[in-house]
Amino acid sequence: MLFFRQAASVVLLFGSLTSAARVLVDWDIGYVNLDRDGHSPRRAIGVNGALPIPPVFATKGDTLVIKVRNSLDVSTSIHAHGLFQNGTSYMDGPAMVTQCGIPPGHSFTYEYEADHAGTFWLHGHDHHQNSDGLRTPLIVRERREPHRYDDEYLLSLEDWYQFEFADRLKDTLDPTKSFPPPPSFPYALFNGYPTTPTLKFKPGKTYRIRIVNMSTTEWFQFNLPGHQMRVIEADGEHSRPSAVDGLDMGPGERYSVLVTAHPTDSHNYHYNATLYAGFVPKIEDKNPRYYQGLIEYREGAPTMPTTEPRNFKWVNDVELCALSGNPPLPVDRQIELTIGGSLFTTGQILDVINNITYAQPKIPTLHSALSLSSPLHMNESLYGPQTHAIVLRHLESVELTVNSPNNLPHPMHLHGHAFQIIEYGSLANRSEPVRRFSPECNAPMQRDTIVVPVNSYVKLRFRADNPGVWLFHCHMDIHFGMGMALTFVEAPDVLRQRQQVPDSMLELCRAQGVRTEGNGAGNAGFDLTGLPAPPVRVLRGGPALPPTE
Ligand SMILES: [Cu+2]
């Protein structure tokens, strides 16, 4: 039996292959005490008293109904990482961006369409609760998949830390403590457990393996020596099959690969999953951590010794060809962003985008976008200086250049969209050739999370065709917590004509005394009283960010 088929806590109502179903998910989110990795008993955040959380399966066009009861002592919210929420931007989840967090003791039901097919994940988006366990894959299948395969496996990968995220962030932000804090070397979890699951292969069959990196901070490498992997999906976008030897995945990234089993069951094989932080030195048995799992053709069959191919080929997302055939978007507007770390007069090192460190406004930015009168809603400063709002005009086609002039890679995630990957280039060595989408294909691959390599830039394009408020942030939660985020306020003029926040959602704010109208301070007009003054940077340009854990 393949793991992670229809999950127990998910009920499919009126389901059939032809009509849309309502997929009901009932989550009581609360603390659980357990030893997930066999090394560190600790408090974690689970669902219905347990971890891991069963994955959620749906078919494109289904309605996801996610009933959340908050049994924590702080607020919570849930984000469907990779879904576009077109028409339901208020259901996107990030706290104080599209909603007030669900207060302790309260319940809220998310309801939205599984608007495209692919490999996604549901995770907490308040207080970085994903890092403490509140995360699980969300698989949305096509009614008719464009690639043929006989069956599928799902492999979720996680880093798991000895300490709760809030404690790690507190240490990182404490100017009296050394920066960066000593690395904590997490362990890996596979489908929520510390042992690698066995993949059972039948001779001649083709399998789709979906791999999700749900980590807080770390990368995973994945390969199946002795088998060829053909990448067919990245982050919910289908690609033409592309043969690779290995996947290298940052936090938040997903791939699907096709693997065809050998014609006989004479041997078993291994797969490798390596958990690592490339920005931390190599330390025996700590970084990287090597894991191996079994590909079992026949119980007890000898394991085939395998060697790595001589010209080992890693997946390279800009080289993938989007199956959609969509050509590169034209460019109506260019936005240049520089990400990194900077020292502030508080003594803290915080992360910045264009020298602004993100901090939550006093009311959710979406509520500001919907309530500020025209033309005030087009005024970026009114969303609050640390909201770092960039107002996009409806249907304009945006080219984002993300520069990362520092020695850490950053997995940047855009809510509400998938962007076309146009180009990668080096900032350190301008004579190095750029890596661009293939001209023969002329259909740049799209994804929603991209690793900006060290001392490099990426060029991304997307069309502002989804009115809403969309966070763009680093998916290493420690960097997100240090302020590496900004807010795209997309077409607030169109948004207010098309969308209204349900009263049950406004109630979440009222229950905790948060206003539901006004600018980023919750005031009328230009009055930003109540928002703290932004912290002041010490150094121009900002130092290269030293490695954090
Ligand atoms: Cu980062």
Are 106 and 67 in contact, with CB atoms under 8 Å apart? Answer: no
CB atoms within 10 A of CB 513: 7
3-state secondary structure 64-76: EEEEEEECCCCCE
Separation of CA 326 and ligand 1 centre (Å):
29
Separation of CA 111 and ligand 1 centre (Å):
30
Q: What is the predicted pLDDT for the residue at 198?
A: 98
Task: Work out the angle at residue 102's Cα, subtended by the Cα atoms of residues 41 and 129, and round it to the nearest 5 degrees.
Answer: 30
Separation of CA 341 and ligand 1 centre (Å):
9
Distance (Å) of CA 124 to CA 20, 49, 350, 526: 26, 16, 23, 33
Tell me which residue of 408, 360, 348 sits closest to 173, measured CA to CA. Answer: 348
Separation of CA 293 and ligand 1 centre (Å):
29
CB atoms within 10 A of CB 366: 26
**What are the two backbone dihedrals, phi and then psi, of residue 356, each rounded to the nearest 5 degrees?**
-110, 130
Phi-psi region of 493 (alpha: psi -120 to 50; beta: other; left: phi over 0): alpha
Separation of CA 18 and ligand 1 centre (Å):
42
- What 3-state class would DSSP assign to 289? strand
Separation of CA 160 and ligand 1 centre (Å):
18
Q: What is the torsion angle, in degrees rounded to the nearest 10, for the CA atoms of residue 365, residue 371, residue 377 and residue 381?
A: -50
Per-chain residues with Cβ under 5 A from ion ligand 1: 410, 474, 476, 479
Separation of CA 62 and ligand 1 centre (Å):
33
Separation of CA 479 and ligand 1 centre (Å):
5
Separation of CA 22 and ligand 1 centre (Å):
36
Tell me which residue of 306, 52, 74, 3 sits closest to 189, measured CA to CA. Answer: 52
Q: What is the torsion angle, in degrees rounded to the nearest 10, for the CA atoms of residue 242, residue 246, residue 250 and residue 253?
A: 40
Separation of CA 13 and ligand 1 centre (Å):
40
Are 325 and 443 in contact, with CB atoms under 8 Å apart? Answer: yes
Separation of CA 318 and ligand 1 centre (Å):
20
Separation of CA 451 and ligand 1 centre (Å):
9
Task: Please tell me whether the peptide bond between 55 and the residue prior to it is cis, using omega within 30 degrees of 0.
Answer: no
Separation of CA 164 and ligand 1 centre (Å):
19
Q: For 413-438, give the DSSP string.
A: EETT--EEEEEEEESS-TTSPPEE--
Separation of CA 478 and ligand 1 centre (Å):
8
Which residues does 311 contact at the CB level (< 8 Å), separation at least 6?
none
Tell me which residue of 134, 94, 137, 93 sits closest to 236, measured CA to CA. Answer: 137
Separation of CA 410 and ligand 1 centre (Å):
4
Distance from first CA to last CA of the chain, Å, rounded?
Answer: 37
* Separation of alpha carbons 205 and 262, rounded Å: 8
* Separation of alpha carbons 52 and 190, rounded Å: 10
Separation of CA 242 and ligand 1 centre (Å):
28
Separation of CA 480 and ligand 1 centre (Å):
7
Separation of CA 422 and ligand 1 centre (Å):
21
Separation of CA 411 and ligand 1 centre (Å):
6
Distance (Å) of CA 426 to CA 355, 403, 429, 464, 524: 21, 9, 6, 28, 45
Separation of CA 217 and ligand 1 centre (Å):
8
Q: What is the predicted pLDDT for the residue at 307?
A: 84
Q: Give residue 52's identity as a one-letter amino acid code.
A: P
Separation of CA 482 and ligand 1 centre (Å):
9
429 burial (CB, 10 Å; 0-12 / 13-18 / 19+) is exposed
Separation of CA 401 and ligand 1 centre (Å):
16
Q: What is the predicted pLDDT for the residue at 541?
A: 52
Separation of CA 484 and ligand 1 centre (Å):
7
Tell me which residue of 65, 57, 67 sits closest to 117, measured CA to CA. Answer: 57
> How far is CA 212 from its chain centroid?
10
* Separation of alpha carbons 369 and 520, rounded Å: 9
- What 3-state class would DSSP assign to 146? coil
Give the pairing type, strands 199-200 and 289-296.
parallel
Q: What is the predicted pLDDT for the residue at 452?
A: 98
Tell me which residue of 407, 95, 177 sits closest to 281, measured CA to CA. Answer: 407
Query: pLDDT tens per residue, the chain (549 residues)?
Result: 344 433 434 444 444 456 889 999 999 999 999 999 999 999 999 999 999 999 999 999 999 999 999 999 999 999 999 999 999 999 999 999 999 999 999 999 999 999 999 999 999 999 999 999 999 999 999 999 999 999 999 999 999 999 999 999 999 999 999 888 888 899 999 999 999 999 999 999 999 999 999 999 999 999 999 999 999 999 999 999 999 999 999 999 999 999 999 999 999 999 999 999 988 899 999 999 999 999 999 999 999 988 888 899 999 999 999 999 999 999 999 999 999 999 999 999 999 999 999 999 999 999 999 999 999 999 999 999 999 999 999 999 999 999 999 999 999 999 999 999 999 999 998 899 999 999 999 999 999 999 999 999 999 999 999 999 999 999 999 999 999 999 999 999 999 999 999 999 999 999 999 999 999 999 999 999 999 999 999 965 544 554 444
Separation of CA 161 and ligand 1 centre (Å):
18
* Separation of alpha carbons 40 and 185, rounded Å: 12
Separation of CA 12 and ligand 1 centre (Å):
37
Q: What is the predicted pLDDT for the residue at 210?
A: 98
